[in-house]
Amino acid sequence: MTFPLEYDRDRNVNTVRYWNTAHKRGRTVTPKSSVVVRRVAEMLEGLPVMPIREYGFGRYHVGMFVGPERWTGYDFSPMAVSSAKEEGFTAHVARLGDAEHPDGSCIVALEVIEHLDLPEMMAFLRTVSVADRAFISVPMARARDLRFPQHMRGFGTKVDLEEFLSGFWPSVTVEVVRPHWRLAYCRRVTP
């Protein structure tokens, strides 16, 4: 599986400026707030209780499902962090590589890794791969997705994504949770 090493950073929506502006407008609906978040919440209900660490959380929708006592969020948008804290959640302004060690926890990174360049993506995945479990969602490549060119990174087929993430976790299951969207469930221990 290959990824382009670089893409048009100027058109990457995953920037502090973009998210601060979105939060100032009171934006509440994001792609990850729909079917993907509901599916993660369903799967979390069947797991042992463990701390949830969400990276690039935006509007902390997963936090709302699991509650503030289990959820900690990391986002580079001060507006996102401030919004989460106002609702009683623990949240930190942090780049992905600066977050605390996730051992013994469950990682959630929804619509995050496709916005990183290849070295950042690999460093992030190495850091969080010590987590017992992880939920990672990525969009499928779409030729006409001109608004979000980073979504065209080409994660390949469902099997390609499983093989890529299995370099970090021994057990990976990928499902298509909505058109053009994949959700990977990664486990440190095989089922």
Mean pLDDT of 135-161: 67
pLDDT value at position 12? 59
Alpha-carbon dihedral angle through residues 39, 51, 71, 53, given to the nearest 10 degrees: -80
pLDDT tens track for 32-84: 457 888 899 899 988 888 899 999 887 778 888 888 999 999 988 888 888 88
- Supply the DSSP string of 45-57, one letter for each residue: HTSPP--EEEES-
pLDDT value at position 32? 46
Domains and their CATH numbers in the chain = 9-187 (3.40.50.150)
Tell me the C-alpha to C-alpha distance, in Å, between residue 95 and each of 9, 14, 29, 125. 16, 12, 23, 13
Burial class (CB in 10 A: 0-12, 13-18, 19+), 92: middle
Q: Which residues fall within 8 angstroms of residue 43, CB to CB, at 6 or more apart?
A: 135, 185
Mean pLDDT of 128-136: 91
